[in-house]
Amino acid sequence: MKEIGRNRNSRFMFCLVLTALLGIFFVLFPSTSMAKSTTVLRFASYFPTAAPQSKLLEKFCSDINKESKGKVKIEFFGGGSLLKATKVADGVAQGIADIGFSHVEYTRGRFPITEMLDLPLGFPSAWVGTHVANNFYQKFKPKEWNKFHILWLNTCPPNVIILAKKPVYKMSDLKGLTIRGPGRVGDVLEKLGATPKPVPMNEIYEAMARGVVDGSMTPIETLRSFRLAEVAKYVTKSWQIGNVYTFYIAMNKKVWDKLSAAEKEVFNKVSKQYEEKSAQIWNKADLGGLSLGKKHGIKFIDLTSSEVSRWTKAVEPVRSNYLKELVAKGYSKSKLEEMLKYVKDQIKYWTKQQAKAGIKSVTGPEEIRVK
């Protein structure tokens, strides 16, 4: 009987220890139980983690989790910690990340139709650019995005000419100046008479301070975000020909297809909200750059109407040559012209909407421009 009692006690202690160990296991490794009802996704962004744009993307992740009642969790990897800017598209397509944030000029030629938005078309603000970009995508659904599901698009504010020492009032003032401008921005600068130089963004400050370049063609928000206000004296607000960068927030298509209907509904709802929030935050970033620039005594120069006509005519080949490139690759000329007309009409429409909403920008026509 004593032996039986000892055996019972041993079995009881064994069950007790096993239960405790299992409890510890499920606390430390919840994936075997909880993960079955939780979708975990990885979001890669190259933007500095301290930037307002990154904070907005982190809030998006948080809101998805909240709206899905914890059923979707997004792990955010900012500052290029998971994927660098030029690797985001490939990384998302290959499944290294499930969602990615970058812009189309980092992979020039991969998204050729969407890149039309980055031509010098006269976007007056990031708010207008963001709404035009999203409408453009929804209308034409370019096949170049077949491996992705677009959550939303946004643009930066229009690029302007930021100068270290010499002011630019007219196009002829650009002659002999070396201005930072890679890719399509460089094409624009070349047509205006400047010498473009493809300096990486994180090296512009030093390049301007040391005189390696005379300036940079970037948005006014870079006066703050990249501290260019410390090395610049003049800004020519050439938004009428300043192209934008089109950013994408895209999910791997296979990952999207595996989401439940309820999860897709959450993403659609929250993404639509962040389309507007992105438009606002980029617009605010430009206003912040203007404010800091004024504190540093930077002179902001508006082009005269005659100069605007001169500059617009000078950069026209950038647009026409790109369309010729696309036609040579097999795209329909009439379809491309339809797309370009649609963008121009949308710019006019959304500029009026911005004026009606009372949203002020650093650049653009007088009815939307901050005093």
Helices 261-295 and 126-140, axial angle in degrees (round to 10): 150
Which of 11-15, 29-33, 123-127, 362-366 is predicted with the least confidence, judged by mean pLDDT?
29-33
d(CA 303, CA 293): 18
pLDDT tens digits, 242-289 = 899 999 999 999 999 999 999 999 999 999 999 999 999 999 999 999
Q: What is the pLDDT of residues 174-229, one digit of tens each?
A: 999 999 998 899 999 999 999 999 988 889 999 999 999 999 999 999 999 899 99
2 against 255, higher pLDDT: 255
- The helix-helix angle for 261-295 and 52-67 (nearest 10°) equals 160
Q: Which residue has the tokens 């949203």?
A: 359
Query: For the CA atoms of the chain, what is the radius of gyration?
Result: 26
pLDDT at 22 over 50: no
* Residue 122, pLDDT score: 96
Per-residue pLDDT of 297-329, as tens digits, reads 999 999 999 999 999 999 999 999 999 999 999
Strand partners, 166: none
Using the predicted structure, report yes or no on whether residue 20 has a pLDDT greater than 80: no
Domains of the chain: 31-155+245-284 (3.40.190.170), 160-244+288-357 (3.40.190.170)
The pTM is what? 0.87
- Mean of pLDDT values over 120-144: 98
H and E: helices and strands count for the chain: 11, 11
pLDDT at position 242: 86
DSSP string across 52-93:
HHHHHHHHHHHHHHHHTTTSEEEEEE-TTSSS-GGGHHHHHH
Here the tokens at position 283 are 């617009």
Buried b (16+ CB within 10 A) or exposed e, 323-341: beebeeeeeeeeebeebbe
In the predicted model, what is the mean pLDDT of residues 343-354? 98
Q: Which two tokens stand for residue 19?
A: 């239960």
pLDDT tens-place string over residues 85-114: 999 999 999 999 999 999 999 999 999 999
More reliable by pLDDT, 140 or 25:
140
pLDDT in tens, 37-64: 899 999 999 988 988 999 999 999 999 9
CA angle 54, 55, 56 (to 5 degrees): 90
